[in-house]
Structure 1
């Protein structure tokens, strides 16, 4: 089965949107890990003027994580799935939060312009057709010295972590997806992680895109070696 891309992936997320929050809530550490990655942006001292771009915001879990560390920031959440954004917009947010329906590599066409002081991208880069093009588009809207945190399924490269990911998907994730009528999306999740960069390869991709001070930070729990935070910045 080929990976889902562009409109096909957006449609799959649209279909899964009503059940998405329930499913991720069953994933131990999901929200805590997003908050940990948000803290790694180093924005605890951000004032009300800080502008944060929340790419691939989905139903707003990453937006809530950002608000937990920068409650007065102005956050623009962007997602290519209208259904996921509908769920996000139905929640209660402070006045500084807004949502935009757009692809991550076509921000300017949707009126999403910088400069942003920080970018948070959770579970996004693995799903775009051209990660290099997306990273370039993201870097173009960041202010000098701005920070980025990419929270992503990117395997360590060790066979044990590849095997664990497959075991979890086949025994838990994919059966839950089938039960909810979203088998294709969660098979895509499994396959897309296997096909994506290892953690080291993605860090190298970020450096090649012009980000500096790139670091790969692990996450705890069963996701160790499977999910990482990648942090970096734009040169001042």
Structure 2
């Protein structure tokens, strides 16, 4: 099965939305790691009134992580899956949060206008058709000196981490996906990570898009070497 793209992927997420929160809650460290990556934006002191773009917000886990790091920020949360957004919108949010159905590389078409002081993108870039185009669109939507944090499955490049990812998918993630009749989405998850950039390759992709001071930061637990935070900024 090839990885899913565009409408096929959005449809798969629509179908999985009803069970998605239950599945990620079963993943050790999932929400804690999102909060850690959100904190790495450094918005605690600058968060009052900051305009933050949450790309690939899904059912709102990344949005909640952002609020934990900057509770008074104005957050625009965007996702291409209407089903995931519907789940997010039914949760309780402060008035500074809004959800928008749209594509990460066509923000203007969805009525999402910058400039944004910060961007958070969790589990997004390996799911887009053209990561470079999406990075360019994100860069263009950011305010001078704006910060970005990308939280993503991007393997270290070491064979042990590739093998561990496959083992976790085959023994835990894909069997759970079959319970909710979403096997195709979770096979896509497995394959999309194997086919995506290594951590160092994605960092270079960010630098090529014009982001400065790009750093790769590890995450603890079994996800070490599998999931990373990538932080950077645009020129002031």
- With normalisation by structure 1, the TM-score equals 0.99
Q: Secondary structure at the match of 1:9?
A: helix
Q: Secondary structure at the match of 2:201?
A: helix
When residues 47 and 222 of structure 1 are mapped into structure 2, their CA distance, relative to the original with a 3 A threshold, is closer
Alignment of 1:134-213 (within 5 A): 134-213=134-213
Asked whether 1:15 is paired with 2:15, we answer: yes
Query: In the alignment, what sits opposite 2:214?
Result: 214
Query: In the alignment, what sits opposite 2:66?
Result: 66
Structure 1, unaligned runs of 5 or more: none
Residue 121 of structure 1: CA displacement?
Answer: 0.1
Question: Any conservation in 2 of the 1:46–1:72 contact (CA below 8 Å)?
Answer: no
Distance 2:47 2:151 in 1: 23
Q: Secondary structure at the match of 1:228?
A: strand
Q: Secondary structure at the match of 2:194?
A: helix
User: How many residues matched?
Assistant: 236
Residue 196 of structure 1: CA displacement?
Answer: 0.1
Query: In the alignment, what sits opposite 2:92?
Result: 92
Query: In the alignment, what sits opposite 1:25?
Result: 25
Question: Any conservation in 2 of the 1:14–1:81 contact (CA below 8 Å)?
Answer: yes
Distance 1:175 1:107 in 2: 35
Alignment of 1:56-135 (within 5 A): 56-135=56-135
Distance 2:189 2:47 in 1: 36
Q: Secondary structure at the match of 1:37?
A: helix
Distance 2:155 2:184 in 1: 21
Alignment of 1:39-58 (within 5 A): 39-58=39-58
Alignment of 1:217-232 (within 5 A): 217-232=217-232
Give deviations 1:82-112, integer Å, cap 9, x for gaps.
0000000000000000000001001000110
Distance 2:49 2:94 in 1: 14
Give deviations 1:203-233, integer Å, cap 9, x for gaps.
0000000000000000000000000000000
Residue 193 of structure 1: CA displacement?
Answer: 0.1
Distance 2:224 2:48 in 1: 34
Residue 47 of structure 1: CA displacement?
Answer: 3.9
When residues 47 and 187 of structure 1 are mapped into structure 2, their CA distance, relative to the original with a 3 A threshold, is closer
Distance 1:113 1:45 in 2: 24
Q: Secondary structure at the match of 1:230?
A: strand
Structure 2, unaligned runs of 5 or more: none
Distance 1:46 1:231 in 2: 16
Residue 2 of structure 1: CA displacement?
Answer: 1.1
